[in-house]
Homo-oligomer: A and B are copies of this chain.
Amino acid sequence: MKKLIGRPGSVSGLALRLGQFGFAAAAIGVMVTSPGFSSFTAYCYLIASMGLQVLWSFGLACLDVYALTRKRDLQNPILVSLFVVGDWVTAILSLAAACSSAGIIVLYSRDLHYCNDQACSKYQTSIAFAFISWALSAISSHVMFWILLASI
Contacts and interface: CB of A to CB of B under 8 A. Distances in A.
Copies of this chain present in the complex amount to 2
Given A104-B104, A146-B149, A149-B146, A40 B111 contact: yes
A99 interface: yes
A107 interface: yes
- Chain A interface size, as a band, is 20 to 34
Q: Describe A's contact surface by its main secondary structure.
A: helix
Residue among A41, A107, A146 with the highest chain B CB neighbour number at 10 A = A107
A106 B146 contact: no
A61 interface: no
A96 B39 CA distance: 22
Which 6 pairs from chain A and chain B are nearest by CB? A100-B103, A99-B99, A103-B103, A42-B103, A96-B99, A149-B149
